[in-house]
């Protein structure tokens, strides 16, 4: 059986509270031992001294554009971007064409993902075509393998529909993930409503459009008991609402994205459409509130909202270009720069937010369609492992972007941490360790 011995790394497993210098032995698709001083047998030995050995990273919010927009990304190319960024599992959103709103299309995603570089799990829509008018067969979608329900890209506007969807999502044992945007407050909006939008003459997307939906939904969660997750939270008021809801014991979680942790509305000053996202980049005070929310345990998940677009689409004028940026290849570096390097959180906390917590959100921490227990490093568990160099200076170039699209505002930005090896089910799917081949002993 093929084996890989990862020797002498700082093994961080938030699920078990492990943070120690240990060896990890992988045989076949399993982790068979985690201990000090494991003797190497035949097989590959990786010197992990100076590196962090983490459970494979999990991103619960990506857009893979397949079916329907394969010129932007496919499940295959998106999975390559994922493993380049240290991710062993991604959850893809249903705003494809057609929408992921039937068991057949959910199964299609699993089918296409069979040869992907990482694990791919679909999130299915809560309403047919994400139109907000007719509920999908949520129970059947769950049985087909949907690991969450969301109309992402759009909010469910009607409170009555939202209540029905939450009730059905709760019965199916899934979590509802909301794109919080009150649409009548964001007509013609292309960036944060503030000083910069006024200066640039662009339509503004006010914070209250996000906060209103969270306030409404928290009340509906109180009535339905459904697990409810706020996607790509962008402003300080939202952090306060989530903190209050969690304080009342409601099953409410929220995620922050790299761009909302690193960039403000001022990034839009040059009309670069790679700074146009939904929800938009906001102000310094929002960034500080989001970081505080991460540090105090209000925000428990980080997610990229990886949103590939073709160059000709992003070449349109700012108010016409599509929203969104890619994020998988630069996410970990961005999280470290925003949260670990300034001291808001330490590495074990960061890893918790990108492994075991998203696994729990999507029920991937338990048996699922024959798989088991993602998000942790455990003897006998699946060998999804990410090696991270926490002290690697690098500057993002186009060559670092391994998906199909390159719409990112982080080209040319320097970071000082990076994933250097991604192992999925015992197979090295991506590596930047020049030495790993040299120490191959078999
Ligand atoms: Zn969204």
Pairing of strands 204-205, 252-256: unpaired
Domain 3-53+380-438, CATH class in plain words: mainly beta
The answer to whether residue 368 scores a pLDDT higher than 70 is no
Lowest mean pLDDT among 69-78, 163-172, 402-411, 428-437: 428-437
Tell me the pLDDT of the chain averaged across its residues. Answer: 96
Q: CATH number for the 56-361 domain, one of 3.40.50.150, 1.10.1060.10, 3.20.20.140, 2.40.100.10?
A: 3.20.20.140
Active site residue 305: yes
140 backbone dihedrals φ, ψ, rounded to 5°: -70, -35
Please tell me the distance between residue 17's alpha carbon and the centre of ligand 1 in angstroms.
32
- Rounded CA-CA distance 75/190 in Å is 28
The answer to whether residue 125 scores a pLDDT higher than 70 is yes
What is the chain's alpha carbon radius of gyration, rounded to the nearest angstrom?
21
DSSP bridge pairs for 192: 205
Report yes or no: 232 and 257 within 8 Å, Cβ to Cβ.
yes
How much is the average pLDDT of 265-280? 97
Please tell me the distance between residue 51's alpha carbon and the centre of ligand 1 in angstroms.
33
Q: Domain coordinates of the chain in residue numbers?
A: 3-53+380-438, 56-361
Please tell me the distance between residue 179's alpha carbon and the centre of ligand 1 in angstroms.
5
Task: Band the pLDDT of 442: cuts 50, 70, 90.
Answer: very low
Distances (CA, A) of 27 to 34, 44, 46, 51, 430: 12, 10, 14, 21, 18
Report yes or no: 117 and 79 within 8 Å, Cβ to Cβ.
yes
Please tell me the distance between residue 232's alpha carbon and the centre of ligand 1 in angstroms.
7
Report yes or no: 331 and 283 within 8 Å, Cβ to Cβ.
no
Task: Band the pLDDT of 2: cuts 50, 70, 90.
Answer: confident
How much is the average pLDDT of 351-369? 90
Q: Residue 372: its pLDDT value, please?
A: 72
Please tell me the distance between residue 155's alpha carbon and the centre of ligand 1 in angstroms.
8
Reported as a single tens digit per residue, the pLDDT across 167-199 is: 999 999 999 999 999 999 999 999 999 999 999
The answer to whether residue 64 scores a pLDDT higher than 70 is yes
The answer to whether residue 438 scores a pLDDT higher than 50 is no
The answer to whether residue 322 scores a pLDDT higher than 60 is yes
Q: Of 217, 232, 236, which Cα lies nearest the Cα of 285?
A: 236
% of the chain with per-residue pLDDT over 70: 97
Q: Residue 439: its pLDDT value, please?
A: 43
Q: How far apart are the first and last CA of the chain?
A: 12
Please tell me the distance between residue 129's alpha carbon and the centre of ligand 1 in angstroms.
15
State the number of CA atoms in the 13 A half-sphere of 405 facing the CB: 29
The answer to whether residue 436 scores a pLDDT higher than 60 is no
Please tell me the distance between residue 95's alpha carbon and the centre of ligand 1 in angstroms.
10
Q: Residue 42: its pLDDT value, please?
A: 83
Q: Residue 308: its pLDDT value, please?
A: 97
Among the options 23, 305, 365, 384, which is catalytic? 305
Please tell me the distance between residue 230's alpha carbon and the centre of ligand 1 in angstroms.
9
How much is the average pLDDT of 403-412? 97
How much is the average pLDDT of 419-430? 98
Please tell me the distance between residue 128's alpha carbon and the centre of ligand 1 in angstroms.
17
Task: Give the single-character DSSP code of 38.
Answer: P
Reported as a single tens digit per residue, the pLDDT across 294-316 is: 999 999 999 999 999 999 999 99
């Amino acid at each position: 059986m093929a084996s890989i011995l990862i020797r002498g790394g700082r093994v961080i497993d938030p699920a078990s509270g492990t943070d120690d210098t240990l060896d990890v032995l992988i045989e076949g698709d399993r982790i068979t031992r985690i201990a000090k001083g494991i003797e190497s047998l035949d097989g590959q030995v990786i010197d992990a001294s100076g590196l962090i050995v983490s459970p494979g990273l999990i991103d619960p919010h990506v857009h893979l554009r397949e079916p329907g927009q394969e010129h932007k990304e496919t499940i295959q190319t998106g999975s390559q971007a994922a493993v380049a960024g240290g991710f062993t599992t991604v959850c893809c959103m249903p705003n494809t064409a057609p929408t992921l709103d039937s068991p057949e299309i959910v199964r299609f995603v699993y089918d296409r993902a069979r040869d992907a570089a990482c694990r791919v799990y679909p999130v299915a829509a809560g309403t047919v075509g994400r139109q907000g008018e007719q509920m999908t067969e949520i129970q059947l979608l769950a049985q087909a393998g949907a690991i969450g329900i969301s109309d992402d890209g759009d909010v469910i506007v009607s409170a009555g529909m939202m209540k029905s969807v939450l009730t059905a999502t709760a019965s199916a044992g899934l979590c509802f993930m909301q794109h919080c945007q009150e649409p009548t407050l964001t007509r013609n909006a292309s960036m944060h409503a503030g000083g910069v939008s006024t200066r640039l003459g662009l339509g503004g997307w006010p914070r209250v459009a996000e906060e209103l939906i969270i306030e409404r939904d928290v009340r509906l969660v109180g009535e339905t008991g459904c697990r409810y997750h706020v996607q790509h939270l962008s402003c300080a008021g939202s952090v306060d609402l989530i903190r209050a809801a969690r304080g009342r014991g409601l099953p409410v979680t929220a995620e922050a994205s790299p761009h909302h942790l690193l960039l403000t509305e001022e990034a839009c000053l040059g009309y670069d459409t790679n700074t146009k996202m939904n929800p938009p980049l906001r102000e310094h005070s929002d960034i500080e509130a989001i970081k505080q929310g991460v540090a105090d345990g209000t925000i428990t998940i980080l997610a990229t909202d990886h949103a590939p677009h073709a160059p000709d689409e992003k070449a349109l004028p700012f108010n016409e270009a599509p929203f969104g940026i890619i994020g998988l290849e630069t996410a970990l570096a961005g999280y470290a720069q925003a949260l670990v390097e300034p001291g808001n959180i330490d590495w074990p906390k960061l890893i918790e937010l990108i492994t075991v917590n998203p696994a729990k959100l999507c029920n991937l921490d338990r048996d699922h369609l024959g798989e088991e227990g993602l998000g942790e490093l455990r003897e006998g568990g699946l060998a999804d492992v990410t090696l991270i160099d926490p002290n690697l200076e690098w500057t993002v170039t186009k060559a670092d972007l391994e998906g199909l699209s390159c719409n990112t505002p982080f080209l040319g930005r320097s970071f000082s941490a990076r994933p250097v090896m991604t192992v999925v089910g015992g197979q090295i799917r991506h590596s930047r360790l020049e030495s790993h081949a040299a120490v191959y002993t078999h």
